[in-house]
Amino acid sequence: MSIFNQTIYDWYISNKRELPWRNTNDAYKIWISEIMLQQTRVAQTEFYFNRFITALPTVFALAKADEDTVLKLWQGLGYYTRARNLHAAAKIIVEKYNGIFPVNYPEILKLPGIGHYTAAAIASIAFNRPYAAVDGNVYRVLSRYFGIATPIDSEMGKKEFQQLASAVLAENNPGLHNQAMMEFGALQCIPKSPDCSNCLLNSSCDAKKNNLVGSLPVKSKRTKMVNRYFYYYIIACDDSFLFQKRTEKDIWKNLYQFPMIETNHEISDSEIIATEIHWLAGCTYNIKNMSVTKKHQLTHQTIFARFLYVEANKLPLSGPNFFKVHKKDIFTFAVPRLLEPVIKNIGNT
Ligand code: SF4
Protein backbone atom coordinates (compact mmCIF):
# COMPACT_ATOMS: atom_id res chain seq x y z
CA MET A 1 0.00 0.00 0.00
CA SER A 2 1.27 3.50 -0.83
CA ILE A 3 2.29 5.97 1.89
CA PHE A 4 -0.51 8.22 0.67
CA ASN A 5 -3.22 5.58 1.23
CA GLN A 6 -1.84 4.26 4.50
CA THR A 7 -1.46 7.76 5.96
CA ILE A 8 -5.00 8.76 5.01
CA TYR A 9 -6.50 5.55 6.48
CA ASP A 10 -4.56 5.95 9.73
CA TRP A 11 -5.61 9.57 9.94
CA TYR A 12 -9.25 8.59 9.25
CA ILE A 13 -9.38 5.92 11.96
CA SER A 14 -8.17 8.45 14.56
CA ASN A 15 -10.03 11.55 13.36
CA LYS A 16 -13.31 10.58 11.70
CA ARG A 17 -16.50 12.07 13.01
CA GLU A 18 -19.13 9.76 14.45
CA LEU A 19 -22.13 10.32 12.22
CA PRO A 20 -25.47 8.53 12.10
CA TRP A 21 -24.90 7.24 8.55
CA ARG A 22 -21.47 5.83 9.35
CA ASN A 23 -20.97 2.27 10.60
CA THR A 24 -23.88 1.03 8.53
CA ASN A 25 -24.08 -0.70 5.19
CA ASP A 26 -27.78 0.00 4.82
CA ALA A 27 -27.90 1.37 1.27
CA TYR A 28 -31.11 3.30 2.01
CA LYS A 29 -29.48 5.29 4.83
CA ILE A 30 -26.27 5.83 2.86
CA TRP A 31 -28.27 7.03 -0.12
CA ILE A 32 -30.35 9.51 1.92
CA SER A 33 -27.22 10.88 3.64
CA GLU A 34 -25.31 11.23 0.36
CA ILE A 35 -28.15 13.15 -1.29
CA MET A 36 -28.52 15.45 1.72
CA LEU A 37 -24.76 16.04 1.89
CA GLN A 38 -24.57 17.17 -1.76
CA GLN A 39 -25.46 20.76 -0.84
CA THR A 40 -25.56 20.80 2.94
CA ARG A 41 -22.91 20.86 5.64
CA VAL A 42 -22.41 17.75 7.75
CA ALA A 43 -23.33 19.54 11.01
CA GLN A 44 -26.70 20.61 9.60
CA THR A 45 -27.34 17.32 7.84
CA GLU A 46 -27.37 15.25 11.04
CA PHE A 47 -30.60 16.83 12.29
CA TYR A 48 -32.41 16.50 8.96
CA PHE A 49 -31.12 12.96 8.42
CA ASN A 50 -32.38 11.75 11.82
CA ARG A 51 -35.75 13.41 11.30
CA PHE A 52 -36.12 11.94 7.80
CA ILE A 53 -35.09 8.41 8.79
CA THR A 54 -37.36 8.44 11.85
CA ALA A 55 -40.37 9.46 9.73
CA LEU A 56 -39.51 7.31 6.69
CA PRO A 57 -37.25 4.48 7.92
CA THR A 58 -37.36 2.32 4.79
CA VAL A 59 -37.49 2.71 1.05
CA PHE A 60 -41.05 1.31 1.20
CA ALA A 61 -42.11 4.09 3.59
CA LEU A 62 -40.53 6.73 1.32
CA ALA A 63 -42.17 5.29 -1.81
CA LYS A 64 -45.58 5.26 -0.10
CA ALA A 65 -45.35 8.78 1.38
CA ASP A 66 -47.09 11.63 -0.43
CA GLU A 67 -44.96 14.35 -1.97
CA ASP A 68 -46.06 17.02 0.54
CA THR A 69 -44.78 14.84 3.41
CA VAL A 70 -41.41 14.33 1.71
CA LEU A 71 -41.03 18.05 0.96
CA LYS A 72 -42.02 18.99 4.51
CA LEU A 73 -39.31 16.66 5.86
CA TRP A 74 -36.87 18.29 3.44
CA GLN A 75 -37.86 21.81 4.49
CA GLY A 76 -34.77 23.82 5.39
CA LEU A 77 -32.36 21.76 3.29
CA GLY A 78 -33.04 23.65 0.04
CA TYR A 79 -32.56 22.25 -3.47
CA TYR A 80 -35.92 20.53 -3.37
CA THR A 81 -35.33 18.72 -6.66
CA ARG A 82 -33.22 16.36 -4.56
CA ALA A 83 -36.27 15.42 -2.46
CA ARG A 84 -38.49 14.96 -5.50
CA ASN A 85 -35.85 12.74 -7.13
CA LEU A 86 -35.44 10.68 -3.94
CA HIS A 87 -39.17 10.10 -3.91
CA ALA A 88 -39.24 9.10 -7.59
CA ALA A 89 -36.23 6.78 -7.15
CA ALA A 90 -37.81 5.11 -4.09
CA LYS A 91 -40.88 4.27 -6.18
CA ILE A 92 -38.64 2.72 -8.85
CA ILE A 93 -36.71 0.68 -6.26
CA VAL A 94 -39.97 -0.67 -4.84
CA GLU A 95 -41.66 -1.34 -8.19
CA LYS A 96 -38.70 -2.57 -10.23
CA TYR A 97 -36.43 -4.09 -7.57
CA ASN A 98 -39.00 -5.22 -4.95
CA GLY A 99 -37.61 -2.70 -2.50
CA ILE A 100 -34.05 -4.05 -2.65
CA PHE A 101 -31.52 -1.37 -3.51
CA PRO A 102 -29.74 -2.24 -6.79
CA VAL A 103 -26.19 -3.41 -6.16
CA ASN A 104 -24.55 -2.66 -9.50
CA TYR A 105 -23.10 0.74 -10.22
CA PRO A 106 -24.74 1.12 -13.70
CA GLU A 107 -28.17 0.33 -12.24
CA ILE A 108 -27.68 2.72 -9.30
CA LEU A 109 -26.61 5.41 -11.77
CA LYS A 110 -29.91 5.09 -13.66
CA LEU A 111 -31.98 6.14 -10.63
CA PRO A 112 -33.29 9.74 -10.66
CA GLY A 113 -31.01 12.25 -8.94
CA ILE A 114 -27.99 9.93 -8.79
CA GLY A 115 -24.83 10.98 -10.63
CA HIS A 116 -21.42 9.36 -10.83
CA TYR A 117 -20.29 10.57 -7.42
CA THR A 118 -23.37 9.35 -5.53
CA ALA A 119 -23.50 6.02 -7.40
CA ALA A 120 -19.84 5.39 -6.54
CA ALA A 121 -20.37 6.35 -2.90
CA ILE A 122 -23.36 4.00 -2.51
CA ALA A 123 -21.75 1.13 -4.49
CA SER A 124 -18.54 1.32 -2.46
CA ILE A 125 -19.86 2.06 1.04
CA ALA A 126 -22.96 -0.17 0.97
CA PHE A 127 -21.78 -2.96 -1.36
CA ASN A 128 -17.97 -2.80 -1.26
CA ARG A 129 -17.77 -2.28 -5.03
CA PRO A 130 -14.52 -0.75 -6.38
CA TYR A 131 -15.70 2.69 -7.54
CA ALA A 132 -13.91 5.90 -6.59
CA ALA A 133 -16.22 8.66 -5.35
CA VAL A 134 -14.89 12.06 -6.35
CA ASP A 135 -16.51 14.99 -4.58
CA GLY A 136 -15.13 18.50 -3.96
CA ASN A 137 -13.04 17.26 -1.03
CA VAL A 138 -11.42 14.53 -3.09
CA TYR A 139 -10.66 16.92 -5.97
CA ARG A 140 -8.89 19.20 -3.49
CA VAL A 141 -6.82 16.47 -1.82
CA LEU A 142 -5.75 14.93 -5.14
CA SER A 143 -4.96 18.20 -6.88
CA ARG A 144 -2.83 19.41 -3.97
CA TYR A 145 -1.10 16.18 -3.03
CA PHE A 146 -0.24 15.27 -6.63
CA GLY A 147 0.18 18.89 -7.78
CA ILE A 148 -2.37 18.85 -10.60
CA ALA A 149 -3.46 22.21 -12.00
CA THR A 150 -5.96 20.97 -14.61
CA PRO A 151 -9.23 22.83 -13.87
CA ILE A 152 -11.50 20.51 -11.91
CA ASP A 153 -14.61 21.83 -13.68
CA SER A 154 -13.28 21.14 -17.20
CA GLU A 155 -14.09 17.93 -19.08
CA MET A 156 -10.39 17.14 -19.20
CA GLY A 157 -10.02 17.75 -15.47
CA LYS A 158 -13.00 15.58 -14.55
CA LYS A 159 -11.57 12.74 -16.58
CA GLU A 160 -8.04 13.14 -15.23
CA PHE A 161 -9.12 13.30 -11.59
CA GLN A 162 -11.52 10.37 -11.98
CA GLN A 163 -8.68 8.28 -13.44
CA LEU A 164 -6.32 9.29 -10.67
CA ALA A 165 -8.93 8.61 -7.98
CA SER A 166 -9.54 5.15 -9.48
CA ALA A 167 -5.80 4.47 -9.63
CA VAL A 168 -5.29 5.22 -5.92
CA LEU A 169 -8.49 3.42 -4.84
CA ALA A 170 -7.95 0.51 -2.46
CA GLU A 171 -9.91 -2.21 -4.22
CA ASN A 172 -10.11 -4.41 -1.13
CA ASN A 173 -11.85 -1.73 0.94
CA PRO A 174 -13.28 0.93 -1.36
CA GLY A 175 -15.90 2.08 1.15
CA LEU A 176 -13.32 2.93 3.78
CA HIS A 177 -11.04 4.46 1.15
CA ASN A 178 -13.72 6.81 -0.21
CA GLN A 179 -14.88 7.88 3.23
CA ALA A 180 -11.30 8.47 4.39
CA MET A 181 -10.49 10.62 1.33
CA MET A 182 -13.61 12.73 1.75
CA GLU A 183 -13.16 13.15 5.50
CA PHE A 184 -9.50 14.09 5.06
CA GLY A 185 -10.53 16.81 2.59
CA ALA A 186 -13.34 18.01 4.85
CA LEU A 187 -11.29 18.25 8.06
CA GLN A 188 -7.57 18.39 7.24
CA CYS A 189 -6.99 19.54 3.67
CA ILE A 190 -9.66 22.24 3.94
CA PRO A 191 -10.27 24.87 1.21
CA LYS A 192 -8.75 27.87 2.98
CA SER A 193 -5.50 27.90 4.95
CA PRO A 194 -5.15 24.18 5.77
CA ASP A 195 -2.85 23.40 8.69
CA CYS A 196 -0.10 21.92 6.51
CA SER A 197 2.53 22.07 9.23
CA ASN A 198 0.54 19.49 11.20
CA CYS A 199 -0.48 17.36 8.22
CA LEU A 200 0.83 13.79 8.13
CA LEU A 201 1.29 14.09 4.36
CA ASN A 202 3.29 17.33 4.38
CA SER A 203 6.66 15.76 3.54
CA SER A 204 5.35 14.21 0.32
CA CYS A 205 2.65 16.74 -0.68
CA ASP A 206 3.47 18.44 -4.01
CA ALA A 207 1.50 21.63 -3.30
CA LYS A 208 3.17 22.05 0.09
CA LYS A 209 6.64 21.52 -1.40
CA ASN A 210 6.03 23.99 -4.21
CA ASN A 211 4.06 26.56 -2.24
CA LEU A 212 0.90 25.99 -4.30
CA VAL A 213 -1.57 25.13 -1.56
CA GLY A 214 -3.48 28.42 -1.96
CA SER A 215 -3.80 28.11 -5.73
CA LEU A 216 -4.94 24.47 -6.00
CA PRO A 217 -7.37 23.15 -7.06
CA VAL A 218 -7.95 25.33 -10.13
CA LYS A 219 -11.44 26.21 -11.36
CA SER A 220 -11.96 27.68 -14.81
CA LYS A 221 -15.47 29.06 -14.67
CA ARG A 222 -17.06 31.54 -12.37
CA THR A 223 -20.74 30.94 -11.81
CA LYS A 224 -22.91 33.91 -12.68
CA MET A 225 -24.98 35.24 -9.79
CA VAL A 226 -28.53 36.41 -10.42
CA ASN A 227 -30.52 38.94 -8.38
CA ARG A 228 -34.28 38.40 -8.03
CA TYR A 229 -36.90 40.64 -6.36
CA PHE A 230 -39.87 38.94 -4.69
CA TYR A 231 -42.87 40.78 -3.22
CA TYR A 232 -45.07 38.57 -1.09
CA TYR A 233 -48.69 39.48 -0.31
CA ILE A 234 -49.70 38.12 3.06
CA ILE A 235 -53.42 38.51 2.62
CA ALA A 236 -55.49 37.92 5.73
CA CYS A 237 -59.22 37.70 6.13
CA ASP A 238 -60.32 36.87 9.68
CA ASP A 239 -57.96 34.10 10.79
CA SER A 240 -57.29 32.72 7.32
CA PHE A 241 -54.64 33.47 4.74
CA LEU A 242 -54.29 33.12 1.02
CA PHE A 243 -51.76 30.46 0.10
CA GLN A 244 -50.42 29.13 -3.17
CA LYS A 245 -48.53 26.10 -4.43
CA ARG A 246 -45.47 26.84 -6.60
CA THR A 247 -45.71 24.65 -9.66
CA GLU A 248 -43.45 26.43 -12.15
CA LYS A 249 -40.13 24.94 -13.20
CA ASP A 250 -38.11 27.15 -10.87
CA ILE A 251 -36.63 27.13 -7.37
CA TRP A 252 -38.92 25.72 -4.68
CA LYS A 253 -41.16 23.80 -7.09
CA ASN A 254 -44.16 22.21 -5.29
CA LEU A 255 -43.51 24.12 -2.08
CA TYR A 256 -46.08 26.55 -0.69
CA GLN A 257 -45.97 30.32 -0.37
CA PHE A 258 -48.02 33.47 -0.05
CA PRO A 259 -49.01 34.86 -3.45
CA MET A 260 -46.22 36.99 -4.83
CA ILE A 261 -44.99 38.98 -7.77
CA GLU A 262 -41.47 39.07 -9.08
CA THR A 263 -39.73 42.00 -10.72
CA ASN A 264 -36.32 42.22 -12.37
CA HIS A 265 -35.32 45.28 -10.35
CA GLU A 266 -36.16 46.76 -6.99
CA ILE A 267 -39.38 48.81 -6.94
CA SER A 268 -40.37 51.60 -4.54
CA ASP A 269 -43.19 51.50 -1.98
CA SER A 270 -45.40 53.65 -4.21
CA GLU A 271 -44.72 51.42 -7.20
CA ILE A 272 -45.65 48.39 -5.11
CA ILE A 273 -48.94 49.98 -4.12
CA ALA A 274 -49.64 51.17 -7.67
CA THR A 275 -48.87 47.79 -9.17
CA GLU A 276 -52.09 46.26 -10.26
CA ILE A 277 -52.45 42.80 -8.89
CA HIS A 278 -55.05 41.22 -11.12
CA TRP A 279 -55.89 38.51 -8.65
CA LEU A 280 -56.87 41.13 -6.07
CA ALA A 281 -59.43 42.68 -8.44
CA GLY A 282 -62.91 42.46 -6.94
CA CYS A 283 -61.62 42.60 -3.35
CA THR A 284 -61.50 45.52 -1.01
CA TYR A 285 -58.09 45.52 0.55
CA ASN A 286 -55.48 47.71 2.09
CA ILE A 287 -51.78 47.23 2.66
CA LYS A 288 -51.31 47.44 6.42
CA ASN A 289 -47.58 47.15 6.55
CA MET A 290 -44.54 46.59 4.37
CA SER A 291 -41.44 44.91 5.65
CA VAL A 292 -37.95 46.13 4.93
CA THR A 293 -36.06 44.19 2.29
CA LYS A 294 -34.80 40.83 3.41
CA LYS A 295 -31.82 39.35 1.58
CA HIS A 296 -31.88 35.60 1.11
CA GLN A 297 -28.80 33.95 -0.36
CA LEU A 298 -28.97 30.82 -2.50
CA THR A 299 -25.93 29.33 -4.18
CA HIS A 300 -26.43 31.09 -7.53
CA GLN A 301 -29.22 33.50 -6.76
CA THR A 302 -29.73 36.38 -4.35
CA ILE A 303 -33.36 36.96 -3.44
CA PHE A 304 -34.42 40.40 -2.22
CA ALA A 305 -37.79 39.89 -0.57
CA ARG A 306 -40.39 42.19 0.90
CA PHE A 307 -43.54 41.18 2.69
CA LEU A 308 -46.73 43.16 2.34
CA TYR A 309 -49.30 42.58 5.05
CA VAL A 310 -52.71 43.02 3.52
CA GLU A 311 -56.17 42.96 5.07
CA ALA A 312 -58.95 42.02 2.67
CA ASN A 313 -62.71 41.67 2.88
CA LYS A 314 -62.41 38.25 1.23
CA LEU A 315 -59.70 35.94 -0.03
CA PRO A 316 -59.45 35.99 -3.83
CA LEU A 317 -59.21 32.32 -4.70
CA SER A 318 -59.11 32.85 -8.46
CA GLY A 319 -55.31 33.06 -8.80
CA PRO A 320 -53.13 30.17 -9.91
CA ASN A 321 -53.12 27.31 -7.34
CA PHE A 322 -54.57 29.60 -4.68
CA PHE A 323 -56.28 28.23 -1.62
CA LYS A 324 -57.33 29.35 1.80
CA VAL A 325 -55.52 28.17 4.90
CA HIS A 326 -56.41 28.76 8.53
CA LYS A 327 -53.54 30.08 10.64
CA LYS A 328 -53.56 26.99 12.87
CA ASP A 329 -52.85 24.77 9.83
CA ILE A 330 -50.27 26.93 8.11
CA PHE A 331 -47.33 25.08 9.76
CA THR A 332 -48.20 21.83 8.07
CA PHE A 333 -47.12 23.06 4.62
CA ALA A 334 -43.59 22.80 3.25
CA VAL A 335 -42.34 26.33 2.62
CA PRO A 336 -39.01 27.86 1.54
CA ARG A 337 -36.76 28.78 4.44
CA LEU A 338 -37.25 32.46 3.52
CA LEU A 339 -40.89 32.23 4.65
CA GLU A 340 -40.32 30.31 7.89
CA PRO A 341 -40.08 33.38 10.20
CA VAL A 342 -43.27 34.85 8.72
CA ILE A 343 -45.15 31.58 9.19
CA LYS A 344 -43.84 31.36 12.75
CA ASN A 345 -45.09 34.88 13.49
CA ILE A 346 -48.52 34.12 12.14
CA GLY A 347 -48.71 31.00 14.27
CA ASN A 348 -47.80 33.00 17.38
CA THR A 349 -50.42 35.72 16.89
S1 SF4 B 1 0.21 19.24 3.36
FE2 SF4 B 1 -1.43 20.73 3.25
S3 SF4 B 1 -2.06 20.74 1.12
FE4 SF4 B 1 -0.83 18.91 1.42
S5 SF4 B 1 -2.35 17.32 1.85
FE6 SF4 B 1 -1.67 18.17 3.82
S7 SF4 B 1 -3.15 19.76 4.29
FE8 SF4 B 1 -3.39 19.28 2.12
Determine the average pLDDT of the residues in 299-317.
91
Distance of CA 199 from the midpoint of ligand 1 (Å): 6
The answer to whether residue 274 scores a pLDDT higher than 80 is: no
Residue nearest to atom 8 of ligand 1 (CA): 189
Residue nearest to atom 2 of ligand 1 (CA): 196
The answer to whether residue 222 scores a pLDDT higher than 90 is: no
Q: Name residues whose C-beta falls within 8 Å of residue 97's C-beta, 6 or more positions apart in sequence.
A: none
Alpha-carbon distance values, 101 to 119, 132, 161 (Å) = 12, 19, 28
Cβ 181 under 6 angstroms from ligand 1: no
The answer to whether residue 349 scores a pLDDT higher than 80 is: no
Cβ 254 under 6 angstroms from ligand 1: no
**Mean pLDDT lowest for which of 69-73, 235-239, 278-282, 342-346?**
278-282
Distance of CA 238 from the midpoint of ligand 1 (Å): 61
The answer to whether residue 257 scores a pLDDT higher than 80 is: yes
Cβ 182 under 6 angstroms from ligand 1: no
Percent of the chain beyond pLDDT 90?
Answer: 77
pLDDT tier for residue 127 given thresholds of 50, 70 and 90: very high
Residue nearest to atom 4 of ligand 1 (CA): 205
Alpha-carbon distance values, 41 to 24, 36, 47, 149, 228 (Å) = 20, 9, 11, 26, 25
pLDDT score, position 268: 86
The answer to whether residue 224 scores a pLDDT higher than 90 is: no
Give 55-88 pLDDT, tens digit per residue.
999 999 999 999 999 999 999 898 899 999 999 9
Cβ 180 under 6 angstroms from ligand 1: no
Q: Is 53 or 275 the better-scoring residue by pLDDT?
A: 53
Average pLDDT of the residues of the chain: 93
Cβ 217 under 6 angstroms from ligand 1: no
Task: Tell me which architecture the domain covering 3-215 has in CATH.
Answer: Orthogonal Bundle (1.10)
Give 234-251 pLDDT, tens digit per residue.
999 999 999 999 998 899
Distance of CA 237 from the midpoint of ligand 1 (Å): 60
Cβ 144 under 6 angstroms from ligand 1: yes
Contact in structure between 206 and 215 (CB atoms under 8 Å) = no
Give the residue numbers annotated as catalytic, written as ranges.
34
Atom of ligand 1 nearest to the CA of 200: 6
**β-strand 301-312 against 226-237: which pairing, if any?**
parallel
Q: How far is CA 103 from the centre of its chain?
A: 25
Distance of CA 5 from the midpoint of ligand 1 (Å): 14
Cβ 199 under 6 angstroms from ligand 1: yes
The answer to whether residue 43 scores a pLDDT higher than 90 is: no
Atom of ligand 1 nearest to the CA of 194: 7
Task: Classify residue 295 by burial, with Cβ atoms within 10 Å: 0-12, 13-18, 19+.
Answer: exposed
Beta bridge partners of 296: 303
Cβ 142 under 6 angstroms from ligand 1: no
Could you please state the CATH topology (level 3) that the domain comprising 226-348 is classified under.
Answer: Nucleoside Triphosphate Pyrophosphohydrolase (3.90.79)
pLDDT tier for residue 176 given thresholds of 50, 70 and 90: very high
190, 205, 212: which to mutate for ligand 1, most atoms within 8 A of CB? Answer: 205
pLDDT tier for residue 136 given thresholds of 50, 70 and 90: very high
Contact in structure between 193 and 208 (CB atoms under 8 Å) = no
- Domain limits, CATH 3.90.79.10, in the chain: 226-348
Q: In whole angstroms, what is the distance from residue 181 CA to residue 84 CA?
A: 29
Cβ 196 under 6 angstroms from ligand 1: yes
202, 210, 211: which to mutate for ligand 1, most atoms within 8 A of CB? Answer: 202
Distance of CA 115 from the midpoint of ligand 1 (Å): 28
